[in-house]
């Protein structure tokens, strides 16, 4: 042991603790409230939504439902009495998230052996055993139903793909992919402004695009009766859900 300048043996001084400045947590924490928590606009008693939210939080405490958006690639294992090992796994891109409350659903699409398959899963169904997010990303649209009329390469995802790691504090990447379509006829007329799709590379002639604009309704964005501002409701529900989940 070292002798200090006085000549007496120095008492052990532990080294100063290193101060870890977690730069990741310093950034603003991203708030994500799953869209099925936000109640739809209507005249129903808020008590009904409160009771439903309690049940949803109860389910989330037991089973982890990760954050995902339309356009992220998920792998879902469900309990199936007719499957081998009693569980079946399906990998696909989320094309739509619908429903509110406990009946919230999401549709996964994939192309297996040149056959397009879509499965609509209920988020809060007890049959679901695991939901993994293989790739968390957003797309330019909220609804990717046009993938049914797009070339099959845009809906094929490897069943055994490895999960792509995503850091906590980073922004969710937006995939600005413009999808190429099969030749017309399509299941819906996606070029019309009603669908407001940004994620298709329309290779239609100019006259067709101009003709589609005939169905535009430019007055809709100024319609005040259609406005539904959810920011305050979201704040309240976010606080409520977070408190319950921390218990």
Partner 1 sequence: RGLLRRSVSHSFLSFASTTGACRAIQKLTRVRVVDNSALGNTSYHRPPKCIHVYNKTGVGKVGDTILLAIKGEKKKALIVGHKMPGPNMTPRFDSNNVVLIEDNGNPIGTRIKTPIPYILRQREGEFSKVLAIARNFV
Residues that bind partner 1 (CB under 8 A): 78, 80, 82-83, 88, 90, 105, 112-122, 125, 127, 148
199 vs 66: CA distance, rounded Å: 25
Cα atoms in the 13 Å half-sphere on the side-chain side of 145: 13
Q: Which is nearer to partner 1, 113 or 221 (CB)?
A: 113
Q: Compute the least distance from the CB of residue 63 to partner 1, in Å.
A: 16
Residue partners of 216: CB distance under 8 A and separation at least 6: 193
Q: Which is nearer to partner 1, 122 or 142 (CB)?
A: 122
Q: Compute the least distance from the CB of residue 125 to partner 1, in Å.
A: 7
Q: What is the largest CA-CA distance in the chain?
A: 96
Q: Compute the least distance from the CB of residue 187 to partner 1, in Å.
A: 10
Q: Compute the least distance from the CB of residue 131 to partner 1, in Å.
A: 13
Q: What is the DSSP secondary-structure string of 100-144?
A: -GGG-EEEEEEEETTEEEEEEEETT-TTEEEEEEEE--EES-S--
């Amino acid at each position: 042991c070292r002798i200090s300048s006085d000549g007496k043996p120095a008492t052990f001084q532990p080294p100063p603790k290193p101060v870890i400045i977690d730069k990741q947590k310093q950034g603003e924490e991203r708030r994500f409230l799953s869209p099925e928590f936000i109640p739809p606009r209507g005249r129903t008693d808020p008590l009904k939504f409160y009771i439903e939210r309690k049940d949803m939080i109860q389910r989330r405490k037991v089973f982890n439902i990760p954050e995902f958006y339309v356009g992220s690639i998920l792998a879902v294992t469900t309990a199936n009495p007719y499957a081998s090992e009693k569980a079946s796994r399906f990998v696909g891109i989320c094309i739509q998230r619908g429903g509110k409350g406990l009946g919230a659903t999401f549709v996964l699409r994939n192309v297996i052996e040149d056959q397009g398959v879509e499965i609509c899963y209920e988020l809060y169904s007890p049959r679901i055993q695991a939901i993994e997010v293989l790739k968390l990303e957003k797309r330019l649209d909220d609804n990717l139903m046009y993938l049914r009329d797009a070339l099959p390469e845009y809906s094929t995802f490897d069943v055994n793909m490895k999960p792509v790691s995503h850091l906590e504090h980073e922004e969710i990447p937006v995939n600005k992919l413009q999808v190429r379509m099969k030749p017309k006829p399509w299941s819906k007329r996606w070029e019309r402004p009603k669908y407001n799709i940004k994620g298709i590379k329309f290779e239609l002639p100019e006259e067709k695009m101009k003709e589609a604009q005939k169905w535009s309704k430019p007055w809709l964005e100024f319609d005040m009766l259609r406005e539904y501002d959810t920011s305050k409701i979201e704040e309240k529900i976010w606080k409520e859900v977070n408190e319950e989940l921390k218990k």
